[in-house]
Structure 1
Amino acid sequence: MSTYRFETLLAPRRIAVVGAGDRPGSVGRAIIDGLRAGGFSGEVVPVHPRESSVDGLPCVSRLADLPAAPDLVMIATPPFAVPDIVEEAGRVGAASAVILSAHLGQGEAAPLGAARASARRHGLRLIGPESVGLSVPAQGLNASLLARPPTSGDLALVSQSGTVASAIAEWAGRRGVGFSAVMTLGRSADVDVADCLDHFAEDFRTRAIILSLHHVADARKFLSAARAAARAKPVVVLRTGRHDGLDRAPTTHTGALARPGAVYEAAFRRAGLLAVDGLDAMFSAVETLGRQRPFPGKRLMIVANGRGIGALAADGLADREGALSAPSDETLTKLEPVRHGAQANPLDLGIDAVPRDFARALEPLLADRGSDALLAIHVPTARAGSREVAQNVADAVAMGRAAGRRKPVFAVSIGEDEAVRSIYGRAKIPLFATDADAVEGFLHLVRYREAQDDLMRTPDSLPRDFSPDIDAARAVIERAIREGRTWLDPASVASLLAAYRIDSVPSTLVPDPDGAAAAAWPLIAAGHTVALKLVSPDVVHKSEVGGVRLGLTSEADVRAAAAAMIARVRAQRPDARIAGFAVQPTVRRAQARELIAGLAEDPVFGPVVVFGRGGTAVEVIDDRALALPPLDLALAGELIGRTRVARRLAAYRDVPAADTDAIALTLVKLAQLAADLPAVRELDINPLLADADGVVALDARVRIEAETGRERRRGNWHPRFAIRPYPAEWERRLVAGDRRVLVRPVRPEDEAMFRAFFGQVDAEDVRLRFFAPVRDFSHAFLARLTQLDYSRAIAFVATEEGMDEARRMLGAVRLHADANHDRGEFAILVRSDIKGTGLGIALMRMMIDWAQADGIAVIEGDVLAENRAMRGVCRQLGFAERPAPDEPGLVKVTLRVPERTQS
């Protein structure tokens, strides 16, 4: 349901509290006390079967006795009573309910299942169970059990855990940090984290979102909402249970490396969320976001009244890969009267500095273009008290802002002092107790800005000749499934990799030692040594039973090694079936690095791409990074860069750099394989050798499993993908005038083509499309047009076949669904010289077909009243037209999309 009825949940006019007795300390009574103390101006009605009034408020015995339906029902009753209360709330027309009660069980037969079913039947929104309520300070709404009522501000706090929310609210209350809303979700019978992200991403009162969660139930919904929210404003996430173990024992190295906590981190990174690893880091983020907006750059200038404390901050910055700034010579000259020593950054004011020295240092530094932010650190001394220094810093910052110098300033004041906190709070300067906390707070905003840059980065185009043989790959998988196998044999693995153009070592399968010796002879005669590997469906890690021998130089050695393998397996794994042996040439690439690359299956987020340092000790070394597919070359390169082994891929001494482009392309190919072949559950290439000549897979394992009936497909969308891949099945060919046109979904690498396109569109047509002249088609502007979340938006681009890149784009249409995925807003622009060819109508019809297939019920858009051509197209397609409310000069066009017929 997403944001459906959120307005009644967060801005109710009438609240019923069920289970509110007159006993002080009871949950229901605490809710009423909180509402009254918070200044709620609406109506509050206690509901209790045995009370006539609660704290002076008239009480009714049941919801049906209310004269009008409540907007919000707070439920604080024993768990067995909850389903009937939810059913009654739905019948009387209540819009939403918060279940404070706990222990509602699991499954549809439990009280929780019955309550959820009733709520869905009546369209009632539920928070909880096990919620501690919600608060909207600006509305005077404190329907919560929080010990300290939140104050009004512009941070939204959404938490699955009531205790974490209480801790953050308590901390924020003592520091004057306020909230636009606090929502505790408990077990999320209905309203979940994704719903809240959708709401607060669009809420103009919310500047940043603080998120605490333990688990995600619907990965697709969560990631779609998170990516949309993170593009709009900072989202900080703290996950509890980061070191929870796997539900089952992994069968491959990649499966063992893809632990749940690492997968969640990969998902947060892909969505552009700023992840923190504990309450201290969360408090640092709240302090920063509560007082400072994100800013470009990462160069920090440190000012301190002592060389040691400044050096500690600089060390912490370097440890976290931050950057010190370099003041200009002109600025250093201005700092001479207060500067101690030769070092420019950190700037030492000396232990004998007086409060005014901080202001004298900040004045030129705020104007200096060599830094992006300032950190003022003060250790109290007999010559400079904390309050006086705080006031001087605040005054200097206020003067700078008045002069248009908006450079961010962070402060550290050693020692707790409410007056100091108040001074900095009024000045909107983040204050920290230690230099480490301040550096972390500064880097929170740096990482957020970098994440936004990553989200807007244009990937390189894939090689045009990369087109996997999907039919051949599917045939390999289907044959193995028909034969009842869960692991592909080496020949099938080689065929699968070949279908995706991943180079591997040729292999010959033989049934016994004599066959191994015979297969080895041609290799030995050609001057190669031989690698012999055991083939068994029951032995996944061959090295554990001595199932790999390298460098064999004669037939006799091969025959003896095979016989020894059989004896060893019979002794160690008597139940293991031996299918035979794989005979390969031993690969000698002296300067190659051993890597691991593959796919793992996560129960929440589905397929995961794994990359890291390879070898037999891969799990002990644990040098790996994870990413959710689909991938492009930019994302693959970023994945490589997050590992320690990435440093070894660069050139060193006489070793040339490895071909990182080939490694990145291999990761993209694996992600594509995962998209095309849902039956592939785990894939493990270890080692993947990489050097200056490219990459080659020395050994690989693939585990398969047939898709189940529960794994619902949507078109060609992988049933377990958390992120919707590029919808290639929507490519179409048509004729517009005398042109043969290809229409396909937009790709991120289309940015250059869009820039050329806008250069060929008349300025008047651009104005009609965007309702104002557009002169700067910046990277950020174009990235928003070409980098789409296909779960929520689609854009189709029309290109003329056979034309060069600069002339080929003819037009584009786009549709963006709302958070509830029942309405979509469209926009279209066709190149000025193409008008009248029928291309615009063809694009609109394709967009309508997408909406119908995707379950969007209504398409709407705003059109300038003067744009008669566009209005004519809309009328021809069946759109209704009406004046746009409060927007003279605009008309609103609306089309109810016909339901898709079942064939």
Structure 2
Amino acid sequence: ALQQALPHAVGGNPLQLGDNARPEHFGTALKLLAEHRSTGTAFVVHASTHGAPVGEVAQALIANQRFAYRGLLACFFGGLDAATRDALHAQGIPVHTTPQRLARAFARLVDYRMGRELLMQTPEGLPAEVPDAIDAAQAQARAALAAGERELTGEAAADLLRRFGLAIETAQTADTAGVDKRSDAAPASRESDCTETDAASAPKPVVEIAVELHDDDNFGPVFSFTAPSADGVSEPLRLYGLPPLNPTLARDIVTRSPYARLIAPEPALAALTALSQAVCEVREIVGLALTLRVYRDHVTVVAPTLSIAPTRSRLAIMPYPRRFEETLDWQGARITVRPIRPEDEAAHHDLVEAMTPEDLRLRFFGAVGSFDHSQLARMTQIDYDREMALIATVQSDEGLSRTLGVVRAVADPDNETAEFAVAIRSDQKGRRLGRLLTDRIIRYARARGTHWLVGEALRENTAMIALARSSGFTITPTEDPSVVGFRMALDEPRAD
């Protein structure tokens, strides 16, 4: 097609339009290339000629920009006048003076997009820790501090980490099997005495990763992971991560290692996530140093040392606040009220789909359709430091979790005022679920030290206004006559 339409062009990538190119040829090339879905972002590199002056080529790009569905960037050798540059910018076409700058700008766009996609990924569900195990780990750390200890090593550190599902390989086992830092070492089984035959037949680790945690002045607790180079020549691989690590973030760390193709990823993901959970749940841990011995199908921890202290810096990313989970009997059913999690996206989609168009209009102050992945991700992947969304869930007969309702509160940066809203499945209205969730968001905001809880509703939303009034809010007018407001001073004692 290109040969027929542009006989003087030289095919390939890049496509060279030639010295005789005219402004309209640029538009023709964009149209023809756009028909092939494998075409990526279009780079247009132009050197001005009598037949293709800068201004006319720029207008051709603007006219045909819609065909470059994955983006269009332009480079004009010799520059261009301000009016033409502004016209290109107004249409969202970045302009650069050299191909090198164009390529660097494109690389930044790719990094930005990949970062946004990573943020919007729905993580797999975190392993459910046993509350008794968490309580025991916290009690162990506090008892050690009370006894004047500032470091847990050996069996004490191993006991604490085992409570989070980590397998510990003892020094005695490693010594018996002759294991060292080399990847061809052969650790022995923990289950039996080791003979020379056992050591020779024991599985060999693929790599040993040094893991450290330190309390940074700016970021709080920070993990560092160091693995030796795969070729013995390159620099060791060193990566950093902020807890809490979910399986998606852990997978990003694992896949960047040159050893990733040699191991089953799930055990490594589970080990990294478990380490992160131990740090998040036991706030007395201010530092750690250990080795992750990674085999093809499992991971063990070697020689853990935990530094403990009464206090540490706050996490840069607030972990899931498990302390707000609550299970109770309600209307003949056993429900759980808890903070929302990223993996609730599918259930949250079902919640919205179960609401009538009128209920959605009253909740969102206008007609809305279905929500896409990015919108649902913003609802379910929240910053627990500034926002809280409590959901009421019930288990279906098939064992799946179903969301019945949600109450959400978003605080300002100074924690002076938080705005809240409630949404209930249309088939659950009239069963006082809204009041149950509202009482808990009031309790949460008051415990957090928020001074005011406020909200708004359409004047015709009599059910929401009645709920606010019965919960203790003062109903107030707003600048919009179709909307009423309600506010509650959380510093004042609440009359029951």
TM-based fold match above 0.5: yes
Shift, 1:674, TM fit: 0.9
Counterparts of residues 52-451 of structure 1 (less than 5 Å): 332=2, 335-341=5-11, 343=12, 345-350=13-18, 353=21, 357-365=25-33, 369-379=37-47, 384=49, 388-400=52-64, 408-415=71-78, 417=79, 419-420=80-81, 422-428=83-89, 429-451=93-115
Q: Give the Cα separation in 2 of the matches to 1:749 and 1:658.
A: 26
1:334 Cα offset (Å): 5.8
Q: Could you tell me which of 649, 665, 685 is aligned with 2:290?
A: 685
Check whether the contact 1:609–1:670 (CA below 8 A) recurs between aligned residues. Answer: no
Q: Is 2:435 the counterpart of 1:841?
A: yes
Letter in 2 for 1:683: L
Query: How much does 1:628 deviate?
Result: 0.9
Structure-2 separation of matches of 1:615 and 1:397: 47
The answer to whether residue 119 in structure 2 is matched with residue 455 in structure 1 is yes
Distance 1:867 1:372, change over 3 A: farther
Give the alignment partner of residue 894 of structure 1, picking from 476, 487, 492: 487
How far 1:863 sits from its partner (Å)? Answer: 0.9
Partner of 1:874, secondary structure, is helix
Residue 701 (str. 1) matches residue 276 (str. 2): no
Name the counterpart of 1:611: 225
Secondary structure in structure 1 of the residue aligned to 2:170: coil
**CA deviation map 1:600-630 (0-9, x unaligned):** 3222111112334259999983302211111
Residue 594 (structure 1) aligns with: 208
Match of 1:856 among 450, 458, 466: 450
Picking from 275, 284, 291, the partner of 1:670 is 275
2:46 alignment partner AA: H
2:254 corresponds to 1:640: yes
Query: For residues 355 and 27 of structure 2, what CA distance do their matches in structure 1 show?
Result: 53
The answer on whether the counterparts of 2:42 and 2:68 sit within 8 Å (CA) in structure 1 is no
Contact 1:736 1:838 in 2 (8 A): no
Structure 1's 614 and 682: CA in aligned 2 closer, same or farther, altered over 3 A? Answer: farther
Q: Which runs of 5+ in 1 are unaligned?
A: 1-329, 509-519, 534-542, 544-548, 553-583, 651-656, 712-718
Q: Distance in 2 between matches of 1:356 and 1:408?
A: 19
Aligned residue in 2 for 1:56: none
Corresponding residue SS for 1:413 = strand
Cα distance between partner residues in 1 of 2:386 and 2:356: 30
The 1:483/1:841 distance shift into structure 2, 3 A limit, reads closer
Match in the other structure for 1:791: 385
Equivalence map 1:444-843=2 (5 Å) = 444-464=108-128, 469-482=133-146, 484-508=148-172, 529-531=176-178, 588-590=202-204, 592-614=206-228, 621-641=235-255, 643=256, 645=257, 647-650=258-261, 657-691=262-296, 693-697=297-301, 699-708=302-311, 719-800=313-394, 803-804=397-398, 808-843=402-437
Letter in 1 for 2:485: K
- Identity percentage of aligned residues: 30
Deviation at 1:874, TM superposition (A): 0.8
1:744: how far off?
A: 0.5
Q: How far apart, CA to CA, are the structure 1 residues paired with 2:41 and 2:94?
A: 12
Which residue is equivalent to 1:108? none
Residues in 2 aligned to 1:425 and 1:468: alpha-carbon distance in whole angstroms:
63
1:872 paired residue among 460, 466, 469? 466
Alpha-carbon distance in structure 2 between the residues aligned to 1:600 and 1:783: 31
The SS at the match of 2:295 is: strand
Partners in 1 of 2:41 and 2:5 — Cα distance? Answer: 17
Deviation at residue 490 of structure 1 after TM alignment: 1.8
SS of residue matched to 1:462: coil
- SS where residue 437 of structure 2 aligns? helix
The secondary structure found in structure 1 opposite 2:85 is helix
Distance across 2 between alignment mates of 1:702 and 1:680? 10
Q: Distance in 2 between matches of 1:615 and 1:404?
A: 45
**Per-residue deviation at 1:468?**
7.8
Q: Note if contact 1:880-1:893 (Cα within 8 Å) is conserved in structure 2.
A: yes
Structure 2 counterpart of 1:489, one-letter code: T
Per-residue deviation, 1:686: 2.1
Task: State the 1:777 CA deviation.
Answer: 2.9
| Superposed displacement of residue 879, structure 1 | 1.8
Q: Is the 8 A contact 1:615 1:686 kept in 2?
A: no
Shift of 1:840: 0.9
Q: Distance in 2 between matches of 1:357 and 1:890?
A: 56
Residue 469 of structure 1: SS of its match in structure 2?
helix
Residues 823-876 of structure 1: CA deviation (Å, up to 9, x unaligned): 122111112232222221110011111111122222222212111111111111
The question of whether the paired residues in 1 share the 8 Å contact of 2:46 and 2:76 is answered with yes
* Matched residue SS, 2:244: coil
SS at match of 2:215: strand
Q: How many matched pairs?
A: 480
Q: 1:585–1:705: structure 2 CA closer, same or farther, 3 Å change rule?
A: farther
Mapped to 1, the partners of 2:147 and 2:464 lie a distance apart of: 58
- Matches of 1:617 and 1:501, distance apart in 2: 32
1:141-181 Cα offsets, whole Å, 9 max, x none, are xxxxxxxxxxxxxxxxxxxxxxxxxxxxxxxxxxxxxxxxx
* Deviation larger for 769-778 or 865-874: 769-778
- RMSD over aligned CA atoms reads 3.6
Q: Aligned-pair distance for 1:803?
A: 4.9
1:580 is matched with none
Letter in 2 for 1:635: L
- Return the alpha-carbon distance in structure 1 between the equivalents of residues 41 and 220 of structure 2: 40
The DSSP-based 3-state class of the residue aligned with 2:169 is coil
Q: Is the 8 A contact 2:229 2:236 kept in 1?
A: no
Provide the rounded CA distance (Å) in 2 between the counterparts of 1:892 and 1:767: 17
Taking the aligned partners of 1:585 and 1:878, their CA distance within structure 2 comes to 70
Alpha-carbon contact 1:625-1:640 (below 8 Å) kept: no
TM-score (norm 2): 0.85
For residues 369 and 486 of structure 1, the distance between their equivalents in structure 2, rounded to whole angstroms, comes to 60
Corresponding residue number in structure 2 for 1:180? none
1:445–1:334 Cα change, 3 Å: farther
> Structure 1, residues 710-766: CA drift from partner, whole Å, max 9, x if none?
x5xxxxxxx521121111111123333222321101011011111222333333222
Q: Is the 8 A contact 2:337 2:390 kept in 1?
A: yes
3-state DSSP of counterpart to 2:218: coil
